[in-house]
Structure 1
């Protein structure tokens, strides 16, 4: 299908004026439009639309005038541009608003992260009136330069840090991310982890008004520490270690008790609750025992080690009864 024909503005005005002058009443409009359209080589429906628009602009027909339509279109366009700029600035604030004195390399990275969604020029324009602004020449020059060895290393580490952070539901801070990377043989200073997390807008879960999860038990009847702070084991079901942790949710604090096999590093039992009731840790231990016994596992000689809290009615180390 051929594209609609573009008529000159002077032809539109002339044709519309001829129709208005030719017709005397609404009954003659159709004939006037057809005759003048044929005379000037215009499609009748195009001419009918022009006449309708002229009547609206003159106030003879209800509807949105041309001026109002143009004003609405302009406001909608400005609104879209403002929303886009606002989104860019929010992203910039979350990325590096607290560290705007950093080198422009980070700002170049931010523009790169937004270019697919918004385009380079809109991002640069939105940033130019802020402390995070970067000149177009600086941006393109920085992109053409090869990364330094440190920048390449930082980029590689940032990807690994982001994966660890996301794999752990976004709750890990720099200390736990550092420990996790070291577990995989990635040696890096903890301060470097913290810097890269800040630069990439990553942060761990901040605990406010931390609940007290452990109340030291009375000294009377407390079992001795059988492991002497040595948490190594030579086989599975030799040493189980228990702990209680907590996380703040929209509904309040949630408590979780875990029993971990020191050899396999597998969680063998757990219990989750919305309150820190006395038997929380004991329920997790009983679950672990039940699961192993259901598999036919002999637990004779197993040592269970917990903190000195009174949850569950036991503390420190104890042999599992034969």
Structure 2
């Protein structure tokens, strides 16, 4: 930094000796011969190697999902070290790569934990499969299949529950929530019943309500038979 300052002052027409004299008056102990030694001395091997590694780091182009360059997002320290070693820098150290990445403001891309929407029940018991893996229906409101998943949004993700009529493959009920509780999936089922009732195609007795083997909610069982009006589940 001092050497660059002296260079800038020399560009304005000041002599090296006078610049160093002013610096010494301000408490910066530097001599003219020291400056000239800095200008003629070769850079250290570490400085040269750091510069080569930094250029290699900057050359790695990372883009987002829209194809736009994202220089602040790159591989993590370990993957970047391996990439550099494969790219002609066999002596690259993970500590050196870590230091250079921090100096350049480069951060490894962090992937969030995978969200689980199906958690088996602790008792290990599963309801019988009333469909016997036959996912067909001869008429509407005979077999409904239900499940829920999560959908990424700007603020994180939300859970989405769906009810599908196997006859038409139409979504007859849905619900979104930030928590996966019993009321969340019950609202989805009640919506399907309400919509069918108010479109003149009410679901009658004998409707099979099939879902997976999770344990988060009432309808997350292997298979259930539903008595529509009271919404009572009979295993």
Q: TM-score, normalised by structure 2?
A: 0.46
Higher helix share: 1
Bigger Cα Rg: 1
Higher strand share: 2
